[in-house]
Amino acid sequence: MLNRREDLLYAAQQLSKWRIEQRISPEEIVNLHAAVIKKMVPDVPQAVVDSFDMLIEIMMGYGIAYREHESLVHRQQELEYEIEVAVGMQQTLLPETLPTFPGIDIGVISVPANKMSGDYLTAAGFEEPAGYGVVNAYAQWRPQQYENVVVQLNVDNLFDKTYYERSSYVANSERGGGIRPIYAPGRTVSLGVTVDF
């Protein structure tokens, strides 16, 4: 008797896996089970029929929540893939090897950001910002005769990308109100000197 019960439980587990693969909703399984019970036991008490009806309604809510969860997981996977593609594309823009000069350090920073969207953004009056990628480069030189001096050249937004950061918004005073983004500056070059005492 115990072996038969274990076999039934194993069969139920396999059926559950198959149901998920076939995207069959939980309420359909409960509905099928109720139909089989009614067929096997023609004079099923009304209380049992009512309990199945209530269970089907509950499973409908669970099924909707499960499908929403699946959709979110799928969307998250898409976003992760898009970020990987964006990072890969940015890496192709960067040189494989940086030139070397005595006393000079050169570096590049790549900053990817994906698109943001959703009801909360639009309800709050925000636009849906597009994804962007920004490349910043710098070089610093320490003269051999002046080891306490560092000259640094920075080039932010090397490719002059038009974008705005997620936190850069201001209330729109024009007609219609709402919120408008503050765009980041274009390519910016700065030169600085640091002296250590």
Distance CA 189, CA 137 (A): 10
Instruction: Give the range among 28-37, 75-84, 110-119, 174-183 with minimum mean pLDDT.
Output: 110-119
The identity of residue 103, as a single letter, is G
Report CA-CA distances (Å) from 114 to 71, 82, 192: 19, 8, 32
Helices 26-40, 46-93: crossing angle, 10 deg rounding: 150
Tokens of 73: 């997981």
C-alpha 17: how far from its chain's center?
Answer: 27
Pairwise pLDDT comparison (1 vs 132), residue with the higher score? 132
Helix (H) or strand (E) holding 53: helix 46-93
Kindly report, residue by residue over 22-67, the tens digit of the pLDDT. Answer: 877 778 888 888 888 888 887 888 888 888 888 888 888 887 887 8
pTM: 0.40
Which residues fall within 8 angstroms of residue 59, CB to CB, at 6 or more apart?
25, 26, 27, 29, 30
Taking 60 as the threshold, does the pLDDT of residue 9 lie above it?
Answer: yes
**pLDDT tens readout for residues 138-168:** 888 888 888 888 999 999 888 888 877 766 6
CATH architecture observed for domain 2-81: Orthogonal Bundle (1.10)
CB 150 within 8 A of CB 139: no
Instruction: Report the pLDDT value the prediction gives residue 120, as an integer from 0 to 100.
Output: 47
* Domain extent listing, the chain: 2-81, 97-195
